């Protein structure tokens, strides 16, 4: 097996690293705890990204994007994740959040929804989670009832990131019986300002994310705003979540790598009882464990990205990446804080922010328990073999 990163992807990674150091790091102290960058700042950064050829780097070439594959996307996101801005859950300055519209648009929907998102003129949000559950479609209570040429929608969605700035949401609602896995769920494109649709509660979380509740009361949506076909919604959601869970890997790797570098620098500089911390076995073992786990997460992530790039199924690998990489980040940041002592708890360093952010990642886009359920189900059902490298 060849573990060498292709030259063009190495150049992309280096260019991203320079952008992070020169453009994003100077903003960290001011905006690290904000759920999003101010529009003027974000737009200016996006303009610079466009001028450098970064914009839509991960969008297929046939849609006007850079066509960078999943492995390349992982390399870019590792570098971006080293900085605490933009926030983890908000669109990056290199590419907007796109979601299921990338997979299921009609030509008319592409002009109205997808193209404006890709140009940066519109923003969208992914509205799946409900109070009764987000990972179990059979528990979905938001309904969309077909009435002639439109659907009548009622229900609530919670923890929707970016809902306050979204020009439209990609809403998942029950259109038929959901007693079978994935059955009866459809996806709709609902414009901001549609009568009956409003923002509800804003959630204050321990991380910098500030998601919203969205309320739908007798909302009428034309049939033309159904994404895909009736009943296809859960597949669209799963395809989107698989990619979203895969990229938890590079985000955790980049953040953990920075935390480990801070811990190593402090251990070599700080002296206790006449000797550097780095000479203490307890500190050495923390560093060693973090380095091993970081490397394991990177290899796992790159292998899952490779499968995706080969057109192979990576559903179970995406869940493995999210489960392991997010837990790895928690442990690495926790050790880095311990090595720094009291200073690690202070806001003089980014570690306490990293810890809050890391804790949120084990829940968002499917909790660690959900990932274990998915992995166990795939293996116990026989859908996944013990050796899937290079296998469909």
User: What residues are annotated to the active site?
Assistant: 365
List all residues 6 or more positions away from 92 whose beta carbon is below 8 Å from its beta carbon. 77, 80, 86
Per DSSP, the chain holds a count of helices (H) and strands (E) of 14, 10
d(CA 190, CA 226): 9
Burial classification of residue 26, based on how many CB atoms lie within 10 Å of its CB (0-12 exposed, 13-18 middle, 19 or more buried): exposed
Element (H, E) at 143: strand 143-147
Contact 174/185 with Cβ under 8 angstroms? Answer: yes
Element (H, E) at 371: helix 368-380
Tokens of 384: 């996944």
Contact 130/214 with Cβ under 8 angstroms? Answer: no
| C-alpha distances out from residue 256 to 79, 261, 297, Å | 11, 9, 10
Tokens of 248: 């938890």
Give which of 316, 207, 211 is closest to 251, Cα–Cα: 207
| DSSP states of 238-289 | HHHHHHHHHTHHHHHHHHHHHHHHHHHHHHHH-EETTEEGGGSHHHHHHHHH
What are the φ/ψ torsions at residue 318 (nearest 5 degrees)? -65, -40
For residues 91, 366, 328, 208, the Cα torsion angle rounded to the nearest 10 degrees is: 40
d(CA 303, CA 307): 6
d(CA 23, CA 48): 9
d(CA 94, CA 303): 24
């Amino acid at each position: 097996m060849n573990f060498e990163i292709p030259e063009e992807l190495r150049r992309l990674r280096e260019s991203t690293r320079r952008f992070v150091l020169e453009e994003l790091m100077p903003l960290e102290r001011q905006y690290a705890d904000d759920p999003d960058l101010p529009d003027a700042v974000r737009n200016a950064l996006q303009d610079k990204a466009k001028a450098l050829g970064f914009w839509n780097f991960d969008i297929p070439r046939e849609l006007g994007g850079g066509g960078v594959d999943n492995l390349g996307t992982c390399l870019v996101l590792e570098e971006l994740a080293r900085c605490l801005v933009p926030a983890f859950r908000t669109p990056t300055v290199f590419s907007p959040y796109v979601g299921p519209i990338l997979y299921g648009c009609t030509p008319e929907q592409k002009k109205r929804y997808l193209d404006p998102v890709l140009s940066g003129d519109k923003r969208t949000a992914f509205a799946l989670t409900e109070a009764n559950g987000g990972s179990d479609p059979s528990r979905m209570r938001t309904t969309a009832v077909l009435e002639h040429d439109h659907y009548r929608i009622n229900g609530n969605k919670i923890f929707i990131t970016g809902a306050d700035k979204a020009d439209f949401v990609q809403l998942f609602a029950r259109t038929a019986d959901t007693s079978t896995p994935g059955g009866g769920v459809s996806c709709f494109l609902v414009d901001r300002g549609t009568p009956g649709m409003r923002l509800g509660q804003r959630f204050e979380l321990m991380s910098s994310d500030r998601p919203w509740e969205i309320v739908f009361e007798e909302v009428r949506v034309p049939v033309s705003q159904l994404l895909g076909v009736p009943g296809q919604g859960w597949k669209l959601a799963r395809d989107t979540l698989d990619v979203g869970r895969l990229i938890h890997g590079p985000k955790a790797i980049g953040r953990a790598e920075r935390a480990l570098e801070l811990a190593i620098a402090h251990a070599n500089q700080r002296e206790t009882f006449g000797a550097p911390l780095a000479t203490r076995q307890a500190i050495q073992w923390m560093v060693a464990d973090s380095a091993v786990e970081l490397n394991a997460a990177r290899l796992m992530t790159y292998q899952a990205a490779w499968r995706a790039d080969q057109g192979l199924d990576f559903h179970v690998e995406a869940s493995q990446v999210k489960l392991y990489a997010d837990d790895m980040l928690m442990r690495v940041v926790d050790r880095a804080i311990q090595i720094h002592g009291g200073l690690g708890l202070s806001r003089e360093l980014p570690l306490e922010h990293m810890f809050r952010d890391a804790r949120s990642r084990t829940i968002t886009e499917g909790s660690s328990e959900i990932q274990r359920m998915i992995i166990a189900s795939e293996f116990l059902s026989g859908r996944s073999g013990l050796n899937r490298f290079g296998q469909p």
